[in-house]
Structure 1
Amino acid sequence: MTSRPPATTTLWRPTGPEELALVRELGWRAWPPRLPEQPIFYPVLNEEYAVKIALDWNVKHSGAGFVTRFEVETDFLSRYPVQQAGGRTILELWVPAEDLDEFNAHIVGTIEVVHEFRP
């Protein structure tokens, strides 16, 4: 009897160059711990929203913006209700910083950069 791989959900994360360097150091398989002023990790549920944040926030504040895509086990994500952070397509998950190690353990595959923006 063969077991099927777990169902996954695609998430996106807009990020700046500093966070992306830490992801690279982690072998593209995990997100780095949050800083004390970052109590929540915010992956988003659609690519368009991630692109908007990367362009409007990361490029302005960090000189570059990146959009990453990654898969997380769907069953695990069910503990985090989808948050509507504005319009109907502005959807996020709010993962408490203390859950990030467990969240990372449920990433399937690697974190990929799918867009890069510079001024």
Structure 2
Amino acid sequence: MPDETRDVVTLWRPVGPVELELIRNSGMRAFPPRLPDQPIFYPVLSKEYAVKIARDWNVPASGSGYVTRFDVRRDFLENYRVQKAGGSAHLEYWIPAEEMTAFNEAIVGEIEVVAEFP
């Protein structure tokens, strides 16, 4: 196993169809920059939480929702605290929009789609 993949954290991100298309355009290697009204990027710590957002928010908002899974270098994430967004199962990182390039560079391997909701 290459050294770069030894110390990673698996995260999930619920996305809609537009964001998924932008991820595909990156070769499944990066998330798109945030929009002006989106000051943070919030990858989540559990698949269950990502599924809930994709199903309950992305589907009504855009007609479909997807759950992505990806690995991020642990040393990068040590610069951020885990945030609780509501209940104890709603854990996420808050990455400032201006740090998205660095976040994408810390992704190890490809971003995978692991669930889809019509």
Please tell me the TM-score bracket, short chain as reference: over 0.9
Aligned residue type for 1:111: I
Q: Check if 1:32 corresponds to 2:42.
A: no
SS of 2:3's partner is coil
Q: Distance in 2 between matches of 1:65 and 1:56?
A: 9
How far the C-alpha of 1:87 sits from its partner, in A, is: 1.0
SS of 1:31's partner is coil
TM-score by length of 2: 0.96
Which residue does 1:102 correspond to in 2? 102
Which residue does 2:51 correspond to in 1? 51
Runs of 4+ in 1 over 6 A off after TM superposition: none
Q: Deviations over 1:3-48 (max 9, x none)?
A: 7334000000000000000000011000000000001001000000
TM-score by length of 1: 0.95
Q: Distance in 2 between matches of 1:42 and 1:79?
A: 14
SS of 1:52's partner is helix
Q: Check if 1:4 corresponds to 2:3.
A: yes
How far the C-alpha of 1:77 sits from its partner, in A, is: 0.3
Structure 2: runs of 5+ lacking an equivalent: none
SS of 2:86's partner is coil
Aligned residue type for 1:60: P
- The structure whose Rg is larger is 1
Q: Distance in 2 between matches of 1:4 and 1:38?
A: 34
What RMSD, in angstroms, separates the aligned Cα atoms of the two structures? 1.3
Q: Deviations over 1:83-117 (max 9, x none)?
A: 01111110010000000000000100000000000
Structure 1: runs of 5+ lacking an equivalent: none
